[in-house]
Structure 1
Amino acid sequence: MDAVIKLSLALMGLALCLAFVRLIKGPSLPDRVVALELFSTLIVGIIGVISIHTDVASFLDVTIVMALMAFLAAIGFARFLERGGPRDD
């Protein structure tokens, strides 16, 4: 069981690094927002795996709150783009 948890944490850590690279290099604002959404999803996954490994149920509450905040941020960005995005007045 420990090998599976270590492997999943290592793969999510690698995906986190790749998402961070896309967040920095992203050519456009929507690319960066998608990378940030992926970043938050991976953080939720990592906390979930740690919660399973340590048998601490309160970590799952943290993951639920973080997932809801990431969802609301994605909705807010979508509404921002729907209204025209950044303007150069």
Structure 2
Amino acid sequence: MTIVAIVAAVLLASAAVLTGYRVLAGPSTLDRVVGVDSLVGITASGLAVWAAYSNDATVLPGIVALALVGFLGSAAVSRFRVRDDR
């Protein structure tokens, strides 16, 4: 289980670095919003890996809250972005 957790942590860390680059270098606002939304998903995945590795279920409400905040943030930005395009 330790090897799987280490591999997952390395892959999630590399995904976070690449996504962070996209957030910083994104040519448009929508690229940055998608990058931040991806970072929220990567963070939730990292918390899920930690919960599975440590057999600690106390972080699960945090994962749910993080997913909800990420969804609501993306929905709000896309709604206002559509309103600006008209």
TM range, smaller chain: over 0.9
Structure 1 runs not aligned, ≥5 long: none
* Partner residue in 2 for 1:41: 41
* Partner residue in 2 for 1:77: 77
* Partner residue in 1 for 2:25: 25
- Structure 1 stretches of at least 4 aligned residues deviating more than 2 Å after TM superposition: none
Find the aligned partners of 1:48 and 1:38 in 2 and give their Cα distance. Answer: 15
The TM-score with structure 2 as length reference comes to 0.96
Q: How many residues were matched structurally?
A: 85
More helix by share: 2
Structure 1 SS opposite 2:56 = coil
User: Deviation at 1:56?
Assistant: 1.0
Q: Could you say what the CA RMSD is over the residues aligned between the two structures, in angstroms?
A: 0.8
Query: Bigger relative contact order, structure 1 or 2, given CA contacts below 8 A and separation 6+?
Result: 2
